């Protein structure tokens, strides 16, 4: 039997850098951080031909560098 159970309400925030943070809504305390794996980290795309601006933005958000 579970006694003194209090459901926890959480708030989740995210950033362009791929970090997700989970917070306790009632207290404002930080609970956990989850980091997205950037599958293009370190990929050099400077001088690459045929990439649209949208594709370059997409790759940069996933860790590619100009």
Which tens digit of pLDDT belongs to each residue from 23-64? 999 899 999 998 877 677 788 888 888 999 998 888 888 788
Residue-level pLDDT at 7: 72
State the Cα–Cα distance between residues 14 and 22, nearest whole angstrom.
9
Q: What is the DSSP string of 37-65?
A: --TTTT-B-TT-SS--HHHHHHHHHTT-B
State the Cα–Cα distance between residues 56 and 28, nearest whole angstrom.
37
Between the alpha carbon of residue 53 and those of residues 10, 11, 56, the distances in Å are: 36, 33, 5
């Amino acid at each position: 039997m579970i006694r003194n159970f209090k459901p926890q309400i959480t708030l989740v925030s995210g950033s362009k850098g791929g970090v997700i943070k989970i917070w306790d809504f009632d207290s404002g305390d930080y609970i956990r951080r989850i980091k997205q794996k950037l599958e293009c980290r370190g990929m050099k795309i400077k001088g690459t031909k045929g990439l649209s601006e949208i594709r370059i933005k997409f790759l940069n958000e996933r860790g590619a560098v100009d």
